[in-house]
Chain A
Amino acid sequence: MELTMAGALNAALRDSMREDDSVVVYGEDVGRLGGVFRITDGLQAEMGADRCFDTPVAESGIIGTAIGMAIYGLRPVVEMQFDGFSYPAVNQVISHLAKYRNRTRGRVALPIVMRVPYGGGIGAVEHHSESPEVYYAHTAGLTVVSPGTPADAYALLRMSIAHPDPVIFLEPKRRYWLKEDLDLPVTAPPIGRAIVRRPGKTATVIAYGPMVTTAMDAAAAATESGWDLEVIDVRTLSPLDIDTLTESVTRTGRALVVHEAARFGGFGAEIAAEVTERAFGYLAAPVLRVTGWDVPYPPAKIEQHFLPTADRILDAVARLLEY
């Protein structure tokens, strides 16, 4: 059956709720409306208002109450309506969500999923196109996941809900309408494992979330230049599957990382450092980064000049091959 990523996420929530009574879904407008992106569509009608409900507009409150609920044995799956509105919750995320298990010597685990529609490309107004992944990936105690395909969106969300520790689940909102033929329930490699989406020999393109599609487009276009690009979908930013990345780079000898978030201190820097440290002897060129610029996310009319494109990736591949 052909399903969008939004539909796959909705199915994952529904299936998890049907399977486990302790799963509750809540956030701003997720109940009656079904979420501004309709990811929670129909859940309140089927599961009841005790299991899927609207909250006041209070992001810190959403995460803070999820922590209390998890202490009492529920598995909250909460929605931050937009990336830029997840910041009021950061104190609860960093000070408690990430630390509770460690603080209590493993006695209190918090199986909570914080879903965040993130990234740009949908022509939105300010604060609706942010890429906050490094804030979370940098924080010990969090598991940070971002699917790049509808199948992975379903499988990774199911696994995140079943995960014993808090998961920051970053949904690439510009890919919500990406379609794929799926026979649910689909399975996929576990959290913490990267996937080679397209095997190749010329260079390794490392991407996650919204940039997986862009990287695949670049790889398809690259064949015209006679380049055979390998594309890796990171899937889990923390813990990072550095082995899969290293293995690929030892074969191709060239690597570039793609993300929408700004370059400076970005996730690409972490990948570049790790790959360089482990595969230094195999590298024919430095690891390059194709990223958003180091600026606040631009207004919608000019965002296409901010977002990495297939062309920008191909330019970087050309530079990789100059070494």
Chain B
Amino acid sequence: MDVSTEAASLSSETPQDQQRIVASWQDVAAEGSLGESTSHELALTREQLRTLYRLMATSRRVDRQAINLTRQGALGVFASSLGQEAAQVGAVFALDAEDWLFPTYRDTVGTFARGVDIVESLALFQGSWHCGFDPMRYRVAPQTTPLATQSLHAVGLAMAARIKRDPIVALAFYGDGAASEGDTHEALNMASVFTAPVVFFVQNNQYAISVPIRDQMHASSIALRAAGYGMPGMRVDGNDVLSVYGAVRHAVERARAGGGPSLIEALTYRIEAHTTADDSSRYRSDDEVEAWRKRDPLERYLGFLRERGVVDDAFVSEVDAEGETIAARMRDALFGAPAGDPREMFDHVYTTMTPQLEAQRALLEQELKAEEG
């Protein structure tokens, strides 16, 4: 670049005296672009195809039951995954047993599909504890509510695995809203710099509570951002469970082989409101919701399986019954569940309770005794 500017001399000159100065730069193309959709062969057994259906169908039943339990007061609030089952289940299904999942509050059915006990995970929405399951047992991090923050935890865990030479992968879930957070940028960049075995999986469900994606970004795709971080990016139909599985599996295998992180955007839609406390009629039309209902991921997958002769009515009934069993267990465990012992709020703050907390615990103890007495 060859630019010389001398402010002092310029200021005394008239416009006619201005020198001809040449500057040079490179323009970035207005926007990168997505390639054409490409096809990839998947090696899935009939049993795996059936398992995917079972997980999606029982997930939907779990989601519906959680909404019901919220309406009945057993849960304080719930963030539904209705319509996003293919995205969550398909992505989680691409992990191996030793891998880690970092979910958000939206990903209850994803954690369920990963094997976390649904009653334990619903402690968050029940209000009995912030995280009701053991992350170390399931290799699933607590469902986070501060947006995008968990993506950095996923990167750190993946960096640690790489330092220890363990061939595991961390799958970070986040949404289109969280894609605007600064932590998302730091996570993508650090993952890339450290070749961390992470897969960033963005469920673009079109809304951050009420704000549509067009008001959150002016690029045509979240996946395009991958290029800026020097990592592969993919966009996939998030309502097509097999494509989601295929894309995530591809990224997981690449990460495990030392190829570093990937960013995947799954296009989907949140059929329910943001949470049970939200009224989505204030920001979107029934027609829009109806159009997405027609792209229902579960119905679509069931149609595919029937066409292929992979499932029959007996199997579908069996899965329905399994869903009912889980739903009944949720009802039994969560309806009228006791609040828990308030003394516990002091127990886990530090490994060794501080003298200050011991004193405060004793004060609460007195209050509780007075209430009981």
A residues sitting closer than 8 Å to B (CB atoms) are: 24, 50-51, 55-56, 58, 60-61, 63-74, 76, 88, 91-92, 95-96, 99-109, 140-141, 143, 164-165, 192, 238-240, 242-243
B residues sitting closer than 8 Å to A (CB atoms) are: 129-131, 134-136, 141-142, 144, 146, 149, 151-161, 163-164, 170, 182-183, 186-187, 189-190, 193, 344, 347-351, 354-356
In angstroms, Cα B170 to Cα A75, docked, is 19
Q: Is the CB of A50 within 8 A of B160?
A: no
In angstroms, Cα B156 to Cα A165, docked, is 17
Q: Is the CB of A68 within 8 A of B350?
A: no
Residues of A within 8 A of B129 (CB): 103, 105
Give, as a whole number of angstroms, the nearest-CB distance from B134 to chain A: 5
Known: A105-B129, A140-B349. A58 touches B186 (CB 8 A): yes
Give, as a whole number of angstroms, the nearest-CB distance from B141 to chain A: 7
Give, as a whole number of angstroms, the nearest-CB distance from A133 to chain B: 17
Give, as a whole number of angstroms, the nearest-CB distance from B228 to chain A: 13
Q: Is the CB of A72 within 8 A of B186?
A: no
Known: A64-B156, A69-B156. A101 touches B348 (CB 8 A): yes
In angstroms, Cα B142 to Cα A103, docked, is 8
Residues of B within 8 A of A100 (CB): 142
Q: Is the CB of A101 within 8 A of B349?
A: yes
Cβ-neighbour of A95 out of B146, B151, B160 (below 8 A): B146
Most buried by A among B136, B146, B159: B159
Give, as a whole number of angstroms, the nearest-CB distance from B302 to chain A: 37
Cβ-neighbour of A107 out of B134, B146, B354 (below 8 A): B134
Known: A72-B164, A105-B129. A58 touches B135 (CB 8 A): no
Give, as a whole number of angstroms, the nearest-CB distance from B363 to chain A: 14
Give, as a whole number of angstroms, the nearest-CB distance from A212 to chain B: 23
Residues of A within 8 A of B190 (CB): 55-56, 58, 61, 65
Chain B's closest residue to A103 (CB) is: B130
Give, as a whole number of angstroms, the nearest-CB distance from B133 to chain A: 9
Q: Is the CB of B152 within 8 A of A64?
A: yes
Residues of B within 8 A of A88 (CB): 182
Cβ-neighbour of A67 out of B152, B348, B350 (below 8 A): B152
How would you classify the secondary structure of chain A's contact residues: helix, strand, loop or mixed? Answer: mixed
Cβ-neighbour of B156 out of A68, A95, A101, A140 (below 8 A): A68
22 A-B pairs, CB-CB below 8 angstroms?
A51-B163, A56-B186, A60-B152, A65-B190, A66-B156, A67-B156, A68-B155, A71-B160, A72-B156, A72-B157, A72-B164, A92-B152, A92-B183, A95-B149, A96-B149, A96-B153, A104-B142, A104-B348, A105-B344, A105-B347, A106-B347, A242-B355
Q: Is the CB of B135 within 8 A of A107?
A: yes
Give, as a whole number of angstroms, the nearest-CB distance from A241 to chain B: 9
In angstroms, Cα B160 to Cα A301, docked, is 44
Chain B's closest residue to A94 (CB) is: B146
Residues of A within 8 A of B136 (CB): 107-108
Residues of A within 8 A of B142 (CB): 100, 103-104
Residues of A within 8 A of B157 (CB): 68-69, 71-72
Residues of A within 8 A of B356 (CB): 239-240, 242
Give, as a whole number of angstroms, the nearest-CB distance from B277 to chain A: 21
Q: Is the CB of A101 within 8 A of B187?
A: no
In angstroms, Cα B144 to Cα A242, docked, is 35
Most buried by B among A65, A99, A100: A65
Known: A56-B193, A192-B354, A239-B356. A105 touches B131 (CB 8 A): yes
Residues of B within 8 A of A106 (CB): 347-348, 351
In angstroms, Cα B151 to Cα A167, docked, is 22
In angstroms, Cα B149 to Cα A63, docked, is 10
Give, as a whole number of angstroms, the nearest-CB distance from B126 to chain A: 14
In angstroms, Cα B149 to Cα A95, docked, is 9
In angstroms, Cα B163 to Cα A51, docked, is 8
In angstroms, Cα B157 to Cα A192, docked, is 30
Residues of B within 8 A of A243 (CB): 355
In angstroms, Cα B134 to Cα A70, docked, is 15
Residues of B within 8 A of A164 (CB): 351
Residues of A within 8 A of B141 (CB): 71
Chain B's closest residue to A163 (CB) is: B351
Given contacts A64-B186, A91-B149, A96-B144, 5 further A-B pairs with CB under 8 A are: A24-B163, A56-B190, A58-B186, A73-B160, A101-B351
Q: Is the CB of A68 within 8 A of B159?
A: yes
Cβ-neighbour of A61 out of B152, B350, B355 (below 8 A): B152
Chain A's closest residue to B192 (CB) is: A56
Known: A68-B156, A101-B349. A92 touches B149 (CB 8 A): yes
Known: A58-B189, A61-B183, A61-B187. A105 touches B152 (CB 8 A): no
